[in-house]
Chain A
């Protein structure tokens, strides 16, 4: 199953996802956690790191972190905050309060729609930094004439979810992030908006020859701002590493920066230049020991997760969980199940949701949707007609029978249809011979040809399936 273009090579990918937690206030103070707002308006002595200020842990952030841990099948444990020390102007205390050797969640997994489980090594709490804008010089730090710092984001609670190196392609990575995002949104932990930076992805990539167990040297890629860039960055980086090795060079362990415009990664620093963060337990905070009752309470309050919902829908519709994935992602699985419970045809329900309801259901009710699928099954509507009626139902609601009637979608009488088919056969005798005498491929091609002509003649009111039945019957007679 090598869908990578790198013949003979396999990618090994592990992602670190930072998600801003949807709390009202910041992680360690009562300043507001909200996006936008005038620069430095959501600040206080704590989020500005003023001398003498002290952090006080936001209970809601802990609760949301535990929700994430439970949703990712992690072990929730007693945890300790640690200081991660480094100098940078967006970090007002010159240390980030994070978790190091005792994270709040560890050893979990996330299931991709195809059923593969991706390991979650840990999901820990930490605080966000401020934001720097470089003025002049095209926004780059080295040419800038000065820089502005906005500390509104400083101290916003983050959960860092460290995935195991279990992903094997850029598609895997994108699916993982989509699934993770879907989980975070479902449980109300984060709004998961990559474009606003509330969900950020760092990506570790290495390559190894197929069949080799041992991991290659990895590089970490930063500055990935969308799922699309994630895919591109991985493809670029894997190719770069394979090219290096194939030309007899070695991959150096590096942190690299993804440049979206250039479509390539640049070296930021090598392993030797990596920071020594001098982690040590944060003396201004006490350990976090959530009681087992509280954890249970949080667990009981979790809504059904995307994975469970996929499985439920798959069971109800008889399809593979993979095929139920899009419906769950669109958050329409509940709607689908309700519709199916009203005797709707499960496969038509899924097909319409996937193909025709990308923009939402509007005024469509499960009852109308169920009637619509029944009309299709009974041959009262063709697929094309059903699509039209469905669009009207989404737009303004109503009764599908009436809408169909208003459109003049009366299903055709079979004898009338037989007449039309006979006429078309007579007008296209060469094609008809080819249909009768041709091989399977030819037969298929010609049946499509005839159905097309019948549809044109009937302005789309004929049922393709029935046309095919008539063609077969005529050929055999």
Chain B
């Protein structure tokens, strides 16, 4: 059931919040052993919260817009008193003394936290295989990955464990798993959603966003978690966008560009199936009255290279605090320095170590200009190219991921192949723009494919209007 329907029925007394939570816990019980979407399922607390909501409704109180709706959140979002691990051994057992801003906002909307979802360690990866607590599997085919890094959140929604989930997207970590799991995934404009309480991977790129089965559920969730937060200096001083209101306004006359560089002409490795779906999407848009034309964002093909300098550079600094001195498990050694080294050697997985080393190198004296400095210039180029494209277009589209879900283990030994999964999603992070993935048909393998819709900063309304059109079109092609 859609989140908006659950909230409506719970508020009207047609459904109890308890029955909603119980239904989802039942789904979890049946499939979680195989999917492994969660690091923690908060069974008792969720039932308690549900009973409270039911009691408040019985007493005639008007509840928030997500009354009784279960939500699963990625395990890199701080939850007071509830273990927050980033799927890393180095944070095992750490219970934050505070909530992330988004957690407080969800609570005020009367949503019910049902669990913390598995992810690639510190959100570094595209398959959720880099988790210290075992990989998550794709609910559509357990031999395949769910994508990543927010693979647990995507799988939880796809498997019916929770109608909603939150993830974080640094280079595609919401959109790519959404595409691979056949759900809607949104990366908002940078600064739209407060990062306070999101354990940082790459601060200038990280953004929290929702997963949902439907575009309208995603829109409602985004409205709830958005808004200025004085605790995040990069937070935008804008009110939450009114998306649900405009969702069904259609796209008559909207100018839509298909990014050529990310749709077969420029980058290799994008599968025929995926390109076919992007092409079909253009037809849906044209039919709905949009003007669809090829668009060019030439520098977007350098996004991946720039990203793999900037993101690791920031990560090398952000992850330096995990030294075993104040929190997390400590591996004792003879001196303080050796204790820190031993703790980090034991606590971090290979991919995290790889990126810390990359980033440390890129920021080192004598290399800074050639790597970090240069990458920032590429970032500016990408922003400029987007700006040029948006002079002609309201929104842009491209594939979300180059392929459908791939088998577990297929790319774990070749980091470059894994990194290429994010080639279409990274440019939006570098530009700070919103982008989302909408499920649109299946590949020959029967696995879901997502189409990415990109918009300029703060243009979430247009992005969602197009997403809604695509969602309706998807219904038609699947029928």
Contacts and interface: CB of A to CB of B under 8 A. Distances in A.
Interface of A: 45, 48-57, 83, 85, 87, 89, 92-95, 141, 147, 149, 276, 278-280, 283-286
Contacts of B84: 51-52
Given A93-B320, A94-B323, A54 B233 contact: yes
B264 to A, nearest CB: 33
Q: Which 9 A-B pairs have the closest CB atoms?
A: A94-B320, A278-B363, A283-B204, A283-B203, A52-B78, A52-B197, A51-B199, A276-B365, A52-B199
Contacts of B234: 283-286
Interface string B314-336: 10110011110111000000001
A52 B363 contact: no
A99 to B, nearest CB: 15
Contact of B327 (A50, A85, A93): A50
A93 B325 CA distance: 11
A52 B233 contact: no
Contact of B78 (A51, A83, A95, A283): A51
B230 to A, nearest CB: 7
Interface in B26-75: none
B233 A280 contact: no
Contacts of A56: 230-233
B198 interface: yes
Contacts of B1: none
A56 B200 CA distance: 15
Contacts of A278: 316-317, 360, 363-365, 368
A89 B94 contact: no
Given A53-B196, A280-B313, A283-B203, A92 B233 contact: no
Contacts of B372: 280
Contact of B326 (A48, A52, A283): A48
B340 interface: yes
Interface of B: 77-78, 84, 86, 91, 94, 96-98, 100, 195-200, 202-204, 230-234, 313-314, 316-317, 320-323, 325-327, 336-337, 340, 360, 363-365, 368, 372
Contact of B96 (A52, A141, A276, A284): A52
A279 B369 CA distance: 12
Contacts of A85: 316-317, 320, 363
A149 B336 CA distance: 13
B321 A92 contact: yes
16 contacts: A50-B96, A51-B86, A51-B91, A52-B78, A52-B199, A53-B196, A55-B233, A56-B230, A89-B336, A93-B320, A278-B363, A283-B203, A283-B314, A284-B200, A284-B203, A285-B233
Nearest to B204: A283
A284 B233 contact: yes
Given A52-B198, A94-B323, A278-B360, A87 B337 contact: yes
Nearest to A30: B231
Contacts of B364: 276, 278
Contacts of A49: 321, 326
Contact of B233 (A45, A57, A95): A57
B327 to A, nearest CB: 7
A48 B317 CA distance: 16
Contacts of B196: 52-54
A95 B317 contact: yes
A92 B313 contact: no
Contacts of B199: 51-52
A40 to B, nearest CB: 10
Contacts of B91: 51
A52 B363 CA distance: 23
A321 B219 CA distance: 71
B102 to A, nearest CB: 11
Contacts of B202: 283
A6 to B, nearest CB: 35
Contacts of B195: 54
Contacts of A54: 195-196, 231-233
Contact of A51 (B316, B321, B323): B321
Contacts of A94: 317, 320-321, 323
Given A52-B100, A276-B365, A278-B364, 7 more contacts: A49-B321, A52-B98, A83-B317, A92-B321, A92-B326, A93-B321, A141-B336
B190 to A, nearest CB: 10
A361 B429 CA distance: 66
Contacts of A147: 336
B267 to A, nearest CB: 27
B320 A95 contact: yes
A280 B313 CA distance: 9
B5 to A, nearest CB: 33
Contacts of A52: 77-78, 84, 96, 98, 100, 196-200
Nearest to A50: B96
Contacts of A57: 233
A48 B372 CA distance: 28
A265 B233 CA distance: 43
Among A51, A94, A284, the most chain B Cβ lie within 10 Å of the Cβ of: A51
A286 B363 CA distance: 20
A141 B336 CA distance: 10
A89 B325 contact: yes
Contacts of A284: 200, 203, 233-234
B83 to A, nearest CB: 12
Among A149, A276, A283, the most chain B Cβ lie within 10 Å of the Cβ of: A283
Nearest to A51: B199
A147 B197 CA distance: 29
Contacts of B320: 85, 87, 93-95
Nearest to B205: A283
B96 A280 contact: no
B436 to A, nearest CB: 23
A283 B316 CA distance: 13
Among B97, B313, B317, B337, the most chain A Cβ lie within 10 Å of the Cβ of: B317
Contacts of A92: 321, 326
Contacts of A149: 325
B340 A286 contact: no
A280 B340 contact: no
A53 B199 CA distance: 8
A286 B314 CA distance: 15
A94 B199 CA distance: 15
B170 to A, nearest CB: 12
Nearest to A141: B336
Contacts of A95: 317, 320
A95 B320 CA distance: 8
A92 B322 CA distance: 9
Contacts of A51: 78, 84, 86, 91, 94, 96, 199-200, 321-322, 327
Contacts of B337: 87
Contacts of B336: 89, 141, 147
A55 B233 CA distance: 7
A41 B327 CA distance: 17
A92 B327 CA distance: 11
B229 to A, nearest CB: 9
A50 B325 CA distance: 12
Contacts of B326: 48-50, 92
B85 to A, nearest CB: 10
A155 B170 CA distance: 28
B340 A87 contact: yes
B94 A280 contact: no
A50 B97 contact: yes
A56 B101 CA distance: 15
Contacts of B203: 283-284
B233 A286 contact: yes
A88 to B, nearest CB: 8
A49 B197 CA distance: 12
Contacts of A276: 364-365
B127 to A, nearest CB: 23
A49 B97 CA distance: 12
Nearest to A93: B321
Contact of A280 (B98, B327, B368): B368
B432 to A, nearest CB: 11
